[in-house]
Chains A and B, each alone.
Chain A
Amino acid sequence: MKDEDFFGRLVPLKKTEQFILKDITSVFKIEAIEVQKNKIMCNRCNQKTVKKRAILPNQEYFCPQCIMLGRITTQHILYTIKEPNRFVENLNPLTWGGELSMSQLECSNKIVQVQEENQNFLLWAVTGAGKTEILFAALAEAFKKGKRVCIASPRIDVCNELYPRLNEAFKHIKIVLLHGYQTERYEYSQLVVCTTHQLIRFKEAFDMLIIDEVDAFPFKDNSMLVGAVNAARKTSSSLIMLTATPTKSLLKEVKMKKMEVGYLPLRYHGKELPVPQIIIKSNWLEKFKKGEMEKKIGKIINKWIDEQHPFFVFVSHIKYLKIINEVMIKFVVGRCNGTTVFSADKRRVEKVQKMRNGEYQYLVTTTILERGVTFAGLNVLVLGADDELFTSSSLVQIAGRVGRSAQNPKGDVIFICGKRKKNVVDAKKQIQLLNAKGRKLRI
């Protein structure tokens, strides 16, 4: 192992494992797991677990809570070396030549300032606002000063999408991408792009920590991840959180931490977000179960087929996919094709590609496509939007699929509900609020 592997990181090694470091004096070590009376305490993820859940038959213990990062046991020691910021100096790191709009520039300047003053900041930016580009100036400033930076997201897709764009924008800065499904070895780098779980492996490493899509981050229920965010930052550092749909608990969190909030309510093309249309049909599911298409829904689909626009049909649960698609197939026969998609679907990427090629005009999907996937001219239909599995923030995300391209900034967002419920109304209100803020900006 190299010294660098230990910079700002917790490296678990078995007590029996031998290793040689150049600078052995600066290594800090700690037992991976402490055995207490009824519980064990993990020094990597800082979680306690009852002994019964954590015991091995050889009477050693392991931590089940951070096991997805590789099991650590009472036979391990955690080693770390204090982050030394040992990077090649680069006074001109930004290799991106694009331009920002006025409102983007305003946000960008704000984040540069937050970075300089080591503050905390929440950026509320609509889907399609160009969040990544807004970060470039602050990232460039941080790199110039030799700061170590991490961009983390709870979602792997977001990391995979960010990584190549950051590589393009900062061609001479070393960037590593870390997540559970990728086998590339860890390497010391000035910029780390990773899933939030990976933060557990870092210790006081980052001068600037950015969390993208923070609303997908289970702040409230996951003390482990909250702890990891805090432990991965240096005591003096900046934290920037990005969201398209701040949840209530997040806003409360912001208030408690007295964090500043910035808005970016306009899309990069300057057009407003499509406002969802709420349609109450108490019998929509019964109709589908009987193998029939509900009249109003049929009308909407007919219009989209006539206009030759692609569309997504969102359902709350995987179990509805089949019955709904069977009715769809009958209904659209001879006019267009489509299929179903769900999270564990091995052919998910292939199916989305087929939609891009125009082979499919529609996909019936679970919420897995609520973020990330973008199509020009897309319309969306949410069946059972009042189902509790659709949170207001996931409904805002779903609506955000529509009108992304500058050529097609409009589109239909239809919520079919059995009843008018809070999640649906809140989602619509949130979108209208952002549009109102956006209108003020444009004037």
Chain B
Amino acid sequence: MKSCLICQGIINDNFEIEWILSLQPRKIKLICQDCQGGFRALSGKIKCEGCSRVLEMSGFCNDCKKWIKKYNGKLLKNTALYEYNEKMKDYFQKFKFLGDYYFLNVFNQELRKFVQKEYGSNWLYVPIPISIKSYQERMFNQVEGLFSGVNFTRALIVQSEEKKQQSKLNRNERLRRKQPFKLNSQYEEIVKDKNILLLDDIYTTGRTLYFAAEVLKNAGVKKIETITLAR
């Protein structure tokens, strides 16, 4: 009997008829059915065309309307696989803040397959970096964990250590904060005229991804899209 990574409940690991008929290798379950059901997949939902936030009617969410103004209509196209709800918050609490690295396995396969299928080899995969201080504390970059198995191009680095104070800022101050990233100079030639897929864990206001995109645009990339686990 196995217990669920998230709630420690018992995982009902019975052989299912669909699996037997599918002739697929057996998927190992890490979380229980209740926890699985707590995550809300976004595919098939009505969403913001800019960022994948769930909306009542198709169109753009308020955050994206602001970005349209700020960046003269040039919106990033963000795909998010799941809604950022209580369950997802709980997941990130354990994965990112408690630091249980193994939790990457809950979503890794799905994210990796999605990226490979929807984007493929014409794209460079650039993970959002974390500061040196966060890395020393956590000992892993949660974005690279979630997407592990994907071939990363680590073209971005955190340029200042102001990240630490970031959590003390309110929403408006956060939106006004300065560019936290810079280009890793080794990658100057590599990213030029390329299609870039930016990888991140959670899309909150979009501020982080727009900053990252700005750096890459200035470096002369051709096209940028973004993907996050949650919105």
Residues of chain A within 8 A (CB-CB) of B86 are 344
Cβ of B140 within 8 Å of any chain A Cβ, yes or no, is yes
Q: Shortest CB–CB separation between residue B99 and chain A, in angstroms?
A: 4
Q: Which 5 A-B pairs have the closest CB atoms?
A: A71-B99, A56-B139, A57-B140, A67-B98, A56-B101
* Contact call A57/B99, Cβ cutoff below 8 A: no
* Contact call B140/A64, Cβ cutoff below 8 A: no
Cβ of B206 within 8 Å of any chain A Cβ, yes or no, is no
14 additional A-B residue pairs with CB within 8 Å, beyond A58-B140, A64-B102, A71-B98: A56-B101, A56-B139, A57-B101, A57-B140, A57-B144, A58-B139, A62-B99, A62-B100, A62-B101, A64-B100, A67-B94, A68-B98, A71-B99, A344-B86
Q: With A and B bound together, what is the CA distance between A68 and B98 in angstroms? A: 7
> Given A57-B145, A344-B86, are A67 and B140 neighbors across the interface (CB < 8 Å)?
no
Q: How many residues of A contact B (CB 8 A)?
A: 14
Cβ of A278 within 8 Å of any chain B Cβ, yes or no, is no
Residues of A at the B interface (CB closer than 8 Å) are: 53-58, 60, 62, 64, 67-68, 71, 73, 344
Q: Shortest CB–CB separation between residue A318 and chain B, in angstroms?
A: 9
Q: With A and B bound together, what is the CA distance between A68 and B100 in angstroms? A: 10
Residues of chain B within 8 A (CB-CB) of A53 are 102
Residues of chain B within 8 A (CB-CB) of A344 are 86
Q: With A and B bound together, what is the CA distance between A55 and B139 in angstroms? A: 11
Q: With A and B bound together, what is the CA distance between A62 and B144 in angstroms? A: 18
Q: Which residue of B lies closest to A60 (CB)?
A: B139
Q: Which residue of B lies closest to A16 (CB)?
A: B136
Residues of chain A within 8 A (CB-CB) of B144 are 57
Q: With A and B bound together, what is the CA distance between A295 and B71 in angstroms? A: 66
Residues of chain A within 8 A (CB-CB) of B98 are 67-68, 71
Interface residues of B in 103-138 (CB under 8 A from A): none
Q: With A and B bound together, what is the CA distance between A58 and B145 in angstroms? A: 12
Q: With A and B bound together, what is the CA distance between A174 and B94 in angstroms? A: 33
* Contact call B139/A73, Cβ cutoff below 8 A: yes
Could you list some 15 contacts between A and B, CB below 8 A?
Answer: A54-B102, A55-B101, A56-B140, A57-B101, A57-B139, A57-B140, A58-B140, A62-B99, A62-B101, A67-B94, A67-B99, A67-B100, A68-B98, A71-B100, A344-B86
Q: Which residue of A lies closest to B103 (CB)?
A: A64
Q: With A and B bound together, what is the CA distance between A71 and B96 in angstroms? A: 11
Q: With A and B bound together, what is the CA distance between A53 and B99 in angstroms? A: 13
Residues of chain A within 8 A (CB-CB) of B139 are 56-58, 60, 62, 73
Q: Which residue of A lies closest to B135 (CB)?
A: A58
Residues of chain A within 8 A (CB-CB) of B140 are 56-58
Q: Which residue of B lies closest to A57 (CB)?
A: B140
Residues of chain B within 8 A (CB-CB) of A60 are 139
Q: Shortest CB–CB separation between residue A319 and chain B, in angstroms?
A: 10
Q: Shortest CB–CB separation between residue B102 and chain A, in angstroms?
A: 5
Q: Which of A56, A67, A68, A73 has the most chain B CB atoms inside 10 A of its CB?
A: A56
Q: With A and B bound together, what is the CA distance between A68 and B99 in angstroms? A: 10
Q: Shortest CB–CB separation between residue A301 and chain B, in angstroms?
A: 30
Residues of chain B within 8 A (CB-CB) of A68 are 98
Q: Which residue of B lies closest to A55 (CB)?
A: B101
Residues of chain A within 8 A (CB-CB) of B100 are 62, 64, 67, 71
Can you list, as one digit per residue, whether each of B68-110 has a CB less than 8 Å from chain A (1) or not (0)?
0000000000000000001000000010001111100000000
Residues of chain A within 8 A (CB-CB) of B94 are 67
Q: With A and B bound together, what is the CA distance between A67 and B145 in angstroms? A: 18
Q: Which residue of A lies closest to B145 (CB)?
A: A57
Q: With A and B bound together, what is the CA distance between A204 and B147 in angstroms? A: 44
Q: Shortest CB–CB separation between residue A217 and chain B, in angstroms?
A: 15
Residues of chain B within 8 A (CB-CB) of A54 are 102
Q: With A and B bound together, what is the CA distance between A56 and B139 in angstroms? A: 7
Q: With A and B bound together, what is the CA distance between A57 and B102 in angstroms? A: 10
Q: Shortest CB–CB separation between residue B41 and chain A, in angstroms?
A: 20
Residues of chain B within 8 A (CB-CB) of A58 are 139-140
Q: With A and B bound together, what is the CA distance between A408 and B98 in angstroms? A: 47
Q: Shortest CB–CB separation between residue B129 and chain A, in angstroms?
A: 14
Q: Shortest CB–CB separation between residue A72 and chain B, in angstroms?
A: 10
Q: Shortest CB–CB separation between residue B32 and chain A, in angstroms?
A: 14
Q: With A and B bound together, what is the CA distance between A128 and B128 in angstroms? A: 56
Q: With A and B bound together, what is the CA distance between A128 and B98 in angstroms? A: 38
Residues of chain A within 8 A (CB-CB) of B145 are 57
